Structure 1
Amino acid sequence: MAPLKAFFPVLLASLAACRQCTNLTIPVDISSRQGLFKEVPVETNLDVRAFTTRFNEYQANLTATLLQGYQTLKGSYEISAQYCHPDNGSNGIIQLLSHGIGFDKTYWDLNYNNFNYSYVNNALENGYSTLAIDRLGIGNSSHGDPFNEIQSQAEIEALNAVTTKLRSGAIGQIGSYKKVIHVGHSFGSVQSYWLSALYPNNTDGVILTGYSTASQFLAYFAAGANFHSARLNQPLRFGNVSISGLQQFAAKYNVSMDLVPALQQLVEKAGLDLSAQDVWNLVGSTEVGNLITGFNKTAPPLNYPSGYFANSDLTSDQYLFLFPGNYDVGLAVVGEQTKQPVTTGELLTIGSAPMMSPFTGPALVITGEHDVPFCGGNCYGQVPNITAPNIPAGVKTAFPAASAFEAYIQPDTGHGLALHYNATAGFQVIQDFLANNGLAAQ
């Protein structure tokens, strides 16, 4: 039964011991050679679904259809980050963490259930420092035009700029690090791999979670997300129009976090045969939840323009990220409450990464057994043009010069490794791989 308490604020215990964390903003200057796309209507949810329909057309290529040429994007941006180090200080090795689509930097340090799902805590316990970033265009980092500014290439350049600053000590609150390990999840893994291909000397280790080189399953992801315009899906968090009117409506009709028990009281007074679970299902597992004030309120709103897409609701979260039976529904609700969007430009350029990386350090791929966007739900399956014992193992061909390569399949896990009951076991696989391949922190 889905817990009603999942709709109430989580009472957070004190931060786990042995860590010092700071939120900061990192200015970066980038120059990015990238696509110039024809913009198509993406104002309404029906527009967004039309975009997805064209994006997923068999034997068609929407990227090529909309591409009008190329441009060099130059600009100054801000990257929001959380820096953490063990209580006993840094030892010169830091993990730079890049989140995937649907998340922000908090993916790596989930505070649910006293941080029991925190990758950051696991890394700190193994002696590493961490820097988790909101990717360019997402969360509290600089936003931009969703078609022709916030594209994969621009985000790679921002990631590389942050990396260079880490090495040189140009981030005043942090100091310099001799070794930088790039850890990604999903689209963050795409970008970490991409950085290793373009700037192989600017990374010391590559950890790719929720990743493979089997691109044919991207359509599964786009369809299963049931994308909406972000500003319409969670208007009080993401919106950029009519926010004051929505807030007045919510206040007048008491549309708050108490909606579930309030509805249950009305049901009981009316003598209707509708259980608490039925009420929860109507609100918690549908788009209704995204309209509840406390459920999606951010101060100030993130102000995403049209062209930023969000997955529809909790059911799409389960399909995209979770393996049924091995996750806490309460944590899944928190994931829906705090989700983040994807831009049209990111979708149109996500498949443009180089086919091969000249990186000569250690590389690990760790992907959930039932990952949908990178394995079609079965990472032990076989796909055309990949001659490997399983789908993640096929990534080895992209790292021909790696000093060490390993592909690990996390059992009973979907795409969102950090959201499952056995997450910490997967985290430790990562730390052990690093320690066994010349990147031990202790």
Structure 2
Amino acid sequence: MINNIITTFAGLSAVAQAATAGHRAGPKCTDFLIPVHASSSKMVPAGNIPDGMAKPEVLVDYLLSQATSSLIAGPLGAIGSVEQSGDFEMSARYCEPAVHVASRAHTIQYLQHAITSGKDYWNGVTYPVGFAGDMYSYSKAASDNGYATIALDNLGSGNSSHPDPVAVVQMALQAQIAHEIITMLREGKVQGPVAGKTFNKVIYVGHSYGSIMGNAIAATFPDDVNAFVLTGYTGEFVAGAPPLLSGVAVPAALAMPKFADLPVGYLAQTYEPGRLYAFYTVDNVGGFDPAMPQYDFDNQGTVALGELATLFYGLTPAKEFTGSVFVVTGHQDAIVCNNLGGADCYKPANKLDAAKGFWPAAKDYSYIIPEKTGHAANLHYSSPESFKKVHAYLASQGL
């Protein structure tokens, strides 16, 4: 399998040069910072960051020890945790609706990316011009359907604040920050391009880690959001660790010059074939532009050790959430549909049916499983059709 992956990358440099040849038609977007004060419990790390973190085996041992502590502590428990609070600047991108739909004038889609990514994911990997123009831009699809969107860089990602990557950048705080911003949007307290605007309907759209964060928000703050759109999600992530680690994460400062100033607890991937294996379809299934994985790798973001160690905080039933849930997970998703026989969301049983158990009180739970699609659902040929189905679903829910 790995040999096939490596072969796939042969000659991609020349192809990638043409990746952004597409024309950007919109939407009109504005980047700005949102000051946020947030408090949450945090998991106390089991010791300091070990020496030799650049060695994969040292990194894996550390992550396993921290993840085990997270599971023992429980998603909302305080075992091995303390309270923390802080002031942070969160980088946001607000995109205006391209068409006016009266019923959506006070509706906003809140977009939250995955680890090793950033808010540019929602514009097609890069901004202002995405891969192949706007073909892979979820923000444009939403705008064309009359929705405003606001995409955030996670704490510790992109242009948001970069506090301690182990002790501070953890799932509970990420979810709390999202809660604070959503509350501000509802109350008209966000400044910049949305100053004075109130949004009485919020649709949370997450990918991978962002979907787990959405799960955490629904479990902890069930009234924050009217509907969740979760991509790269099934509620099963443990078996996805080997594909994720195949990208060989090392301290970001050692991986790429653009991350040179980040402390050792921020990681980036160094092995392009491993990222392909984790995020795209393999074994000649196809379904994506052959230049996309290299382009995605070259424009990757980082992940904080604390995010990985507290990943399971969000995987808990949202027992009091009564809104709508729509899941988009690729048939060949190697992260959330990983089996011993390969990536398949239908084997040994339909994993999207099983994920309904995380949403017992939802008024509606629906999903699609796009064919020839891996974990990075937005970056496959199937994405334009998936975008259409997402917005058809939202319309069916009165949103």
Q: 1:167 to 1:63 in 2, by over 3 A?
A: closer
- For residues 45 and 274 of structure 2, what CA distance do their matches in structure 1 show? 28
Cα pair distance change 1:99/1:42, threshold 3 Å: farther
Which whole-Å CA distance do the structure 1 matches of 2:363 and 2:79 have between them?
40
Matched, 1:74 2:64: no
Matches within 5 A, 1:19-168: 19-42=27-50, 44-53=52-61, 55-56=63-64, 61=68, 63=70, 69-88=80-99, 91-110=105-124, 111-168=130-187
Structure 2: give runs of 5+ residues left out of the alignment: 1-9, 125-129
The structural deviation recorded for 1:345 is: 0.8
Which residue, 353, 364, 369 being the options, matches 1:404?
364
SS of residue matched to 1:137:
coil
> After the TM superposition, which residues 429-440 of structure 1 pair with which residues of structure 2 at under 5 Å, given as runs?
429-439=389-399
CA distance in 2, matches of 1:435, 1:64: 37
- For residues 370-389 of structure 1, the aligned pairs below 5 Å read 370-376=332-338, 377-382=343-348, 389=349
Aligned to 1:394: 354
Determine which of 351, 368, 372 is the counterpart of 2:312. Answer: 351
Deviates more, 1:217-226 or 1:108-117: 217-226
Instruction: Give CA-to-partner distance per residue, 1:293-331, whole Å, 9 cap, x none.
Output: xxxxxxxxxxx2101111222211101111142212322
Q: Deviations over 1:103-149 (max 9, x none)?
A: 10011101111111111111111111111110111111001111110
More divergent stretch after superposition (3-12 vs 160-169): 3-12
The answer as to whether partners of 1:38 and 1:68 remain within 8 angstroms in 2 is no
Structure 2 residue aligned with 1:169: 188
CA contact (8 A) 2:42 2:81 kept: yes
Residue number in structure 1 paired with 2:330: 368
How far did residue 370 of structure 1 move? 0.8
CA 1:4–1:220: 2 relative to 1, 3 Å: closer
Q: Secondary structure at the match of 2:88?
A: strand
Match of 2:218 among 196, 204, 210: 196
CA contact (8 A) 2:236 2:337 kept: yes
Structure 1 residue 54: Cα displacement: 5.1
The structure carrying a bigger helix percent of its residues is 1
Q: Is the 8 A contact 1:49 1:226 kept in 2?
A: no
Partner of 1:272: none
CA distance in 1, matches of 2:240, 2:164: 23
Tell me which amino acid in the other structure corresponds to 1:404. D
The 1:170/1:9 distance shift into structure 2, 3 A limit, reads farther
Answering whether residue 269 of structure 2 is matched by residue 311 of structure 1, we say yes
Q: Partner of 2:384 in structure 1?
A: 424
* SS of 2:235 mapped into structure 1: coil
Question: Once the two structures are aligned, what percentage of the paired residues are identical?
Answer: 30
List aligned pairs for 1:268-347, cutoff 5 A.
304-324=262-282, 325-347=286-308
Task: Give the TM-score, by structure 1 length.
Answer: 0.78
Q: Which of structures 1 and 2 has the bigger CA Rg?
A: 1
Q: Could you tell me the TM-score, scaled by structure 2's length?
A: 0.86
Contact 1:210 1:371 in 2 (8 A): yes
Aligned match of 1:205: 227
Using the TM superposition, give the Cα deviation of residue 50 of structure 1 relative to its aligned residue in structure 2, in angstroms: 1.1
Instruction: Give ranges in structure 1 of 5+ residues lacking alignment.
Output: 241-303, 383-388
